[in-house]
Structure 1
Amino acid sequence: MNTENHGLSIGIRRVNSDFFLTLKASGKLTHEDYEIITPMIDSALTEVKQPAIRVFIDGTELDGWEPRAAWDDFKLGLKHSNQFEKIAIFGNKGWQKMTAKVGAWFVSGEVKYFESEEAALIWLSE
């Protein structure tokens, strides 16, 4: 039996006195993954009163998106673009760095790519 592991997990991470929204992506994301995670992210961000959300995205296990899922990701980013102060993308694939640069065009806050989890968390805390 071949097991296909993919999806997004969402959480809150505290580093010293700073809190971050965390997303961990794994496998090749599908439209169905976004149908499940989008309402969770929408709900989590509903109560935020100011654009001060800092996000840590772990993409080290991400293999990419199906075409419709890539569109879902883009729409989700646009919907909440004004709520993000900083987004750190921790990854290990060259295309992720380019994705971070393109994503920065559509988000009001800063977006940076890191190959070091520690460096990403330090930048988010600054």
Structure 2
Amino acid sequence: MLQIIDIKKENIITTIAIGELHQKDIEKVHPIIHTILDKGLKIRWYFEMQDFEGWSINGFWEDLKMDAAHEKEYEKIAIVCKEKWQEWIARFMEPFTNAEIKYFDINQKGKAQEWIES
């Protein structure tokens, strides 16, 4: 499940991933992305993981398609999680985007939010 939470600035997407992400989870972010792009802004994404289990096959494919379609339109991505192994996700995403990607431990949420907003 992907929860979309408080959007503080018009170009920041804030989400919390819980459990396994499916295609419908990724698809609900599309309208937000296009609203940001329609304003001529770059996308900044705060992606927090809580008990994250990964993607279903369709969810993973949808995420890859979205990243590839908008690779030049992402500015920053903050990946926030408590499991150190999940840092590989940040490394895996690098070839699919021009964004600056940073990994933050879950107890660095405040620092991650400050970074994504700066």
Scaled to the shorter chain, the TM-score interval is 0.7 to 0.9
Paired position in structure 1 for 2:3: 9
Please say if 1:48 is aligned against 2:39: yes
Q: Aligned residues, how many?
A: 116
In structure 2, list runs of 5 or more residues that go unmatched: none
Distance 2:115 2:99 in 1: 13
Percent of residue pairs bearing the same amino acid type: 27
- TM-score normalised by length of structure 1: 0.76
**Are 1:122 and 2:111 an aligned pair?**
no
RMSD: 2.4
Shift of 1:25: 1.3
Q: Larger C-alpha radius of gyration, 1 or 2?
A: 1
Q: Of residues 12, 22, 27 in structure 1, which corresponds to 2:14?
A: 22
Aligned position for 2:98: 108
- State the AA in 2 paired with 1:47: D
TM-score (norm 2): 0.80
Would you say the 8 A contact 1:54–1:85 is kept in 2? yes
For residues 61-101 of structure 1, the C-alpha deviation after alignment (integer angstroms, 9 at most, x for no partner) is 32211122111111111112211111101111233201101
8 Å CA contact 1:53, 1:83 repeated in 2: yes
Residues 1:30 and 1:48: Cα distance change in structure 2 (over 3 Å) = same
Q: Deviations over 1:42-79 (max 9, x none)?
A: 443341314x3221111123221112211111111111
Segments of structure 1 that go 5 or more residues without pairing to the other structure are 1-6
Residues 85 and 108 in structure 1, CA contact (< 8 A), matched pair in contact too: yes
The residue aligned with 1:59 is: 49
Please say if residues 47 and 78 of structure 2, whose CA atoms lie closer than 8 Å, have aligned partners that are also in contact: yes
1:86 aligns to 2:76 (yes or no) = yes
Distance 1:58 1:38 in 2: 14
C-alpha contact 2:33 2:43 (8 A) present in aligned 1: no
Distance (Å, rounded) in 2 between the aligned partners of 1:55 and 1:40? 14
